[in-house]
C-alpha cells in the first residue's frame, strides 16, 4: 500500500482518526493518535515529532526530540475503537540527521534482513512463530516494602474443582492435560475463535487455534510464516488483538512465560528458513532431510544460544519455564523429533519447501524484532563459519545416563546468566551494524538494573514458607 492508497482507504472507510504505533526498547507497543485531516502525503516523508526521553531505554532528556515515520504497508483498520480508526506502524528517526534510530527494535530487524542479503547467502528469511498465552478471569498482585503477593484465577483451573460456584459444572482441566480437549473441558473455544476471526479481518494469516497443555486457560493461535520484519509486525498486532478480545469477554491475556506453578509455561517456538528466490536453502540429503547450510545454521544457533536467550527469553520469569527435567527445551542440541532439544527439525511434510528449523527456546515475553534478528544473525554466523552442530540428540533425554546428560550443554539458568553470555558473546550481532554497541550495552544495563537487581533485592513470598520459623 502506498501513501496515496492509505489516504484513499481513509476516505473510503470514513476514517476519523489515525493511530501511530512503534515499539519501545523492552518490547511493548506505544502510540499516539492524530485526526485524519492531519494525515497527508508529507507525513509519510517528514514524520511527526515526539518525546523520545519518555520511552524506556531510549533518549536522554537533553536530546529527546524524535520522529515517527508511518509505514503505509502496515495500515490496518482498528477493530476495537469506537470511531473508525486506521493504525500504522512507524519507524523512528533522528530529526536532525534523519538517520534511523539505532535503538528502534524494528530498525534492528530491518538491518538484520539487509545484512543477510548483503552476504549473498539468501535474500529472504522466513519466520513462523507459535505464540502461547494464558487467558485468565482474574489477576491481582502487589509488592510493597512489607508485603508481596499475587493471585490468579480461571474458571477452568484445576484448583477450582471444589469451589462453590452455584452450580460448579466441573470441566476443570487437570494439570498438563489441556492439550486439545473438546468443549466443555475447553471453555475458551468461542473466545479463541473470535480472536482468530479478528486476526483474519485484520489481514493476519492464521493457521490454527487450540487449547494448550496447561490448566487455567493456556492457549495458542498459530500464524503462517512470513518474512522476518512482517512477521514481527504481525506478532505485535496478534498481541494487541488477543488482549483486546479477551477484555471484551471480561477476561485478560498474559504472555508472561510462567504464571502458574506446577504446570507448563508459555513458549514461542520460532521456525526459521532461508530462501534464495524460489529456492528453499535448508532442504537437502543430510540428516532429517537438511542441507549442509541448514546444519551449519544449527551450529550457529547452538553456539550462540545462551546470548540469544538475553533477547529471546528476556525476563526473570522466562527461566522459571526453562528448567531441566521437564519438556522445556533447555538442552542445546538438535533433533528431528525430540521436543526437549532446543532445535527441532519438524518432519510433518516431505516437501523441500517445508524444510525449516524450529528454535524452541524463545518465549512470548520477548521483543520479536530483537529476538528474530538475533536468531538470524546466529544462523548467518553458523553458515559463514561452517560451525559443526555435532551429533543430533535423538534419544529420550530422560533415558540418558547422568554422565551422558552432563555432556549436553544447557540454556542459561537465569536472566543474569543470559546477560553475562550476551556480554561475552555479541560480536556476531554487531556485523553489518545490525546490533550496535549502544543497543547491546543499553539492553544489558536496562535488564540488569530494572529487572535482575529489582528481583534480587526483594524477599520472595515462598521464602517465608521456608525460613520464617528460623
| Residues carrying an active site annotation | 51, 130, 132, 212, 220, 269, 339, 358, 360
Residue 364: its H or E element: none
Strands 124-136 and 252-254: antiparallel
Asked if 66 and 49 count as a contact pair (C-beta separation under 8 A), the reply is yes
**Which residues make Cβ contacts (< 8 Å) with residue 14, sequence separation at least 6?**
84
User: Residue 280 contacts by C-beta under 8 Å, 6 or more apart in sequence?
Assistant: 273, 274, 352, 353, 355
Report the distance separating Cα 28 and Cα 330, nearest Å: 26
- Strand locations in 94-189, DSSP E? 124-136, 138-144, 147-153
Q: Which grid coordinates are listed for 219?
A: 492457549
| Alpha-carbon span 466 to 17, nearest angstrom | 55
Largest CA distance in the chain: 71
The grid cell for 132 is 502461547
The closest alpha carbon to 378, from 321, 326, 311, belongs to 311
Closest to 438 (Cα-Cα) out of 8, 58, 131, 50: 58
Three-class SS state of 218: strand
Contact 292, 342 (CB under 8 A): no
Residues 6+ apart with CB under 8 A from 291: 281, 282, 283, 284, 285, 355
- Rounded to whole angstroms, the Cα distance separating 51 from 301 reads 37
> Residue 21 to residues 79, 88, 169, 249, 453: CA-CA distances in angstroms?
15, 6, 43, 25, 30
Task: Give the integer Cα–Cα distance in Å for 125 and 303.
Answer: 20
- Cell numbers at residue 185, please? 473441558
Amino acid at each position: 500500500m502506498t501513501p496515496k492508497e492509505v489516504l484513499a482507504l481513509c476516505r473510503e472507510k470514513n476514517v476519523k482518526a489515525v493511530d501511530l504505533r512503534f515499539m519501545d526498547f523492552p518490547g511493548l507497543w506505544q502510540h499516539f493518535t492524530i485526526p485524519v485531516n492531519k494525515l497527508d502525503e508529507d507525513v509519510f516523508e517528514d514524520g511527526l515529532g515526539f518525546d523520545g526521553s519518555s520511552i524506556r531505554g531510549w533518549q536522554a532528556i537533553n536530546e529527546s526530540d524524535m520522529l515517527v515515520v508511518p509505514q503505509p504497508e502496515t495500515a490496518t483498520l482498528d477493530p476495537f475503537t469506537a470511531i473508525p480508526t486506521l493504525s500504522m506502524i512507524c519507524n523512528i528517526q533522528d530529526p536532525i540527521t534523519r538517520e534511523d534510530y539505532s535503538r528502534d527494535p524494528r530498525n534492528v530487524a530491518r538491518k538484520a534482513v539487509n545484512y543477510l542479503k548483503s552476504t549473498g547467502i539468501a535474500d529472504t528469511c522466513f519466520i513462523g512463530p507459535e505464540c502461547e498465552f494464558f487467558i485468565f478471569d482474574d489477576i491481582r498482585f502487589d509488592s510493597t516494602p512489607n508485603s508481596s503477593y499475587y493471585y490468579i484465577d480461571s474458571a477452568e483451573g484445576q484448583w477450582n474443582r471444589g469451589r462453590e460456584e452455584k452450580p460448579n459444572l466441573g470441566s476443570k482441566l487437570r494439570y498438563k492435560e489441556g492439550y486439545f480437549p473438546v468443549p466443555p473441558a475447553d471453555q475458551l473455544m468461542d473466545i479463541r475463535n473470535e480472536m482468530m476471526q479478528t486476526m483474519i479481518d485484520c489481514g493476519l494469516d492464521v493457521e490454527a487455534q487450540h487449547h494448550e497443555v496447561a490448566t487455567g486457560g493456556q492457549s495458542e493461535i498459530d500464524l503462517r510464516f512470513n518474512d522476518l520484519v512482517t512477521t514481527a509486525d504481525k506478532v505485535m498486532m496478534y498481541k494487541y488483538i488477543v488482549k483486546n478480545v479477551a477484555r471484551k469477554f471480561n477476561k485478560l491475556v498474559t504472555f508472561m512465560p510462567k504464571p502458574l506453578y506446577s504446570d507448563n509455561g508459555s513458549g514461542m517456538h520460532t521456525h526459521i528458513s532461508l530462501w534464495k528466490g524460489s529456492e528453499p536453502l535448508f532442504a537437502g540429503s543430510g540428516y532429517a532431510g537438511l542441507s549442509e547450510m541448514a546444519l551449519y545454521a544449527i551450529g550457529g544457533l547452538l553456539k550462540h544460544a545462551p546470548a540469544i536467550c538475553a533477547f529471546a527469553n528476556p525476563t526473570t520469569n522466562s527461566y522459571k519455564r526453562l528448567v531441566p527435567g521437564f519438556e522445556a527445551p533447555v538442552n542445546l542440541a538438535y533433533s528431528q523429533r525430540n521436543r526437549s532439544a532446543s532445535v527441532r527439525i519438524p518432519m510433518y511434510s516431505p516437501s523441500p519447501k517445508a524444510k525449516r528449523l524450529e528454535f524452541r527456546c524463545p518465549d512470548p515475553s520477548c521483543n520479536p524484532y530483537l529476538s528474530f534478528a538475533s536468531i538470524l544473525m546466529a544462523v548467518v554466523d553458523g553458515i559463514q563459519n561452517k560451525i559443526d552442530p555435532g551429533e543430533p540428540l535423538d534419544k529420550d533425554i530422560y533415558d540418558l545416563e547422568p554422565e551422558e546428560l552432563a555432556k549436553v550443554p544447557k540454556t542459561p539458568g537465569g536472566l543474569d546468566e543470559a546477560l553475562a553470555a550476551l556480554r561475552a558473546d555479541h560480536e556476531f550481532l554487531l556485523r553489518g551494524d545490525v546490533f550496535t554497541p549502544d543497543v547491546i550495552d543499553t539492553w544489558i544495563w536496562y535488564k540488569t538494573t530494572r529487572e535482575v537487581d529489582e528481583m534480587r533485592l526483594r524477599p520472595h513470598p515462598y521464602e517465608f514458607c521456608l525460613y520464617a520459623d528460623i
